[in-house]
A and B are shown apart, each in its own frame.
Chain A
Amino acid sequence: KNEVEQSPQNLTAQEGEFITINCSYSVGISALHWLQQHPGGGIVSLFMLSSGKKKHGRLIATINIQEKHSSLHITASHPRDSAVYICAPRPGSQGNLIFGKGTKLSVKP
């Protein structure tokens, strides 16, 4: 069973485009993480949010707890944004993260 669904699986964009990556989940959660995995393999945490919206530079993350949906937006995309973006909800208040399969983003100059 897939408790976390990300779309699209793959995304190619031109530099400067606005990017949206979607995440839907089927369980009740207390928070949701967005992670970035670089082509070299390293994983970094971008956002952790439990309601509303968070912004960091050109990245914006939103979540709708009632609809069990989150989005990650990238404004003015750049080739250095090329990476795999992973959605990871946390079921319950002290649960382990569950992970989506990731969205592979490639931004062309």
Chain B
Amino acid sequence: NAGVTQTPKFQVLKTGQSMTLQCAQDMNHEYMSWYRQDPGMGLRLIHYSVGAGITDQGEVPNGYNVSRSTTEDFPLRLLSAAPSQTSVYFCASSYSWGGQPQHFGDGTRLSIL
């Protein structure tokens, strides 16, 4: 099993560009989530999904879009990149929404110029 796979690992964008961060898991987990990690701050939840076809906003959803068409995939879209979105992004999954350890991807380091 690969676990949680995130691509790309690094990306540089120009302000206004759009892109999609990919996240896939092969553990048949229902719950998937996207976080951003900024210096001096804890991980912050962007969007999450409790199953295919179901998504919801987290703490910092503005400027991001998600979809969950399959159990395995949970892509994160930046609609129009802004320098404030420069961050390290982590995707995570767990078997269910409550009471289960989360498995994290290796992260995507994103820089917006």
Contacts and interface: CB of A to CB of B under 8 A. Distances in A.
Nearest to A45: B101
A4 B99 contact: no
Contacts of A31: 98-99
Interface string A3-33: 0100000000000000000000000001101
Interface residues of B, number: 24
Contacts of B109: 41
Interface in B57-113: 58, 88, 90, 92, 97-104, 106-107, 109
A97 B33 CA distance: 10
Contact of A99 (B43, B48, B100): B43
B101 A86 contact: no
Interface string A93-109: 11111111110000000
B99 A48 contact: yes
A64 B101 CA distance: 19
B42 interface: yes
A42 interface: yes
Nearest to A98: B42
B97 A101 contact: no
B99 A100 contact: no
Interface of B: 33, 35, 40-45, 48, 58, 88, 90, 92, 97-104, 106-107, 109
Which 6 A-B pairs give the minimum distances between C-beta atoms?
A99-B42, A94-B98, A45-B101, A43-B104, A99-B43, A94-B97
